[in-house]
């Protein structure tokens, strides 16, 4: 009897402690956020063109003049925009992997953003004053800007990666002949809006004709 009463007492104390402490970190919230982010990224990647079409060697030629190069670049940016975005992200990733310190800074900032806006459920209080979402967003943006561009070399690394990515895009866009490319802006915009709206189908414009 004494053992049963002590066991029941320990169980009651554990339940009371769990109920009063409250979860400091909610894994379900983080997993849900990561799942939505992964789903959105996968949907965006699916909008890209086949890479065999991007690197088709038979479709490259030297532009005759600057006007032709500019025209090609505009058409190719509109057609391969998702692929170009992936190229820029890959350039940033490679540059970050070559600079572990900058990568650690970005990861720390990312964790801070996730904690403030996803994990933390109670209001953030500074000087006995709860902060609104707008104030938290502004504060995190200012802190991130100062850390990236003034306190560390992350800004220089990101700028270098963007320069490399944009140079690759300019070279490809100016030399890739876009004569065989076709872009349906309405369809692309509807697909992107479908991703943002959680898979809901946009109404077809042709149905009103």
The residue with greater pLDDT, 200 or 78, is 78
Domain span at 94: 26-199
110 found inside a domain: yes
141 found inside a domain: yes
Confidence check: pLDDT of 17 > 70? no
Tokens of 29: 């919230």
How many structural domains are present in the chain?
1
Cα dihedral value 58, 60, 62, 68, nearest 10: 120
Confidence check: pLDDT of 119 > 80? yes
Under 8 Å between Cβ of 76 and 178: yes
207 found inside a domain: no
Give the Cα separation of 208 and 121 in Å (integer): 45
41 found inside a domain: yes
pTM of the model: 0.65
**Span 19-46, average pLDDT:** 66
4 found inside a domain: no
- Average pLDDT of the chain? 78
* Local confidence band at 27 (pLDDT 50, 70, 90 cut-offs): low
Confidence check: pLDDT of 102 > 80? yes
**Span 52-80, average pLDDT:** 93
């Amino acid at each position: 009897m004494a053992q049963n009463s002590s066991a029941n007492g320990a169980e009651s104390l554990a339940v009371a402690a769990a109920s009063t402490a409250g979860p400091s970190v909610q894994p379900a919230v983080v997993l849900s956020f990561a799942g939505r982010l992964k789903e959105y990224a996968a949907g965006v990647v699916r909008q890209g063109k086949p890479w065999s079409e991007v690197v088709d060697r038979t479709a490259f030629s030297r532009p005759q003049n600057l006007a032709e190069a500019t025209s090609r670049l505009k058409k190719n940016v509109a057609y391969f925009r998702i692929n170009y975005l992936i190229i820029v992200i890959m350039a940033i990733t490679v540059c970050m992997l070559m600079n572990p310190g900058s990568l650690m800074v970005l990861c720390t900032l990312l964790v801070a953003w996730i904690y403030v806006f996803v994990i933390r459920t109670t209001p953030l209080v500074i000087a006995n004053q709860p902060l609104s979402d707008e104030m938290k967003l502004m504060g995190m943006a200012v802190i991130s800007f100062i850390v990236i561009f003034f306190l560390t070399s992350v800004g220089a690394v990101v700028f270098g990666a963007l320069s490399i990515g944009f140079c690759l895009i300019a070279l490809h866009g100016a030399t890739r002949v876009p004569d065989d490319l076709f872009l349906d802006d309405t369809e692309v915009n509807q697909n992107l809006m479908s991703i943002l709206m959680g898979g809901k189908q946009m109404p077809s414009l042709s149905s009103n004709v």
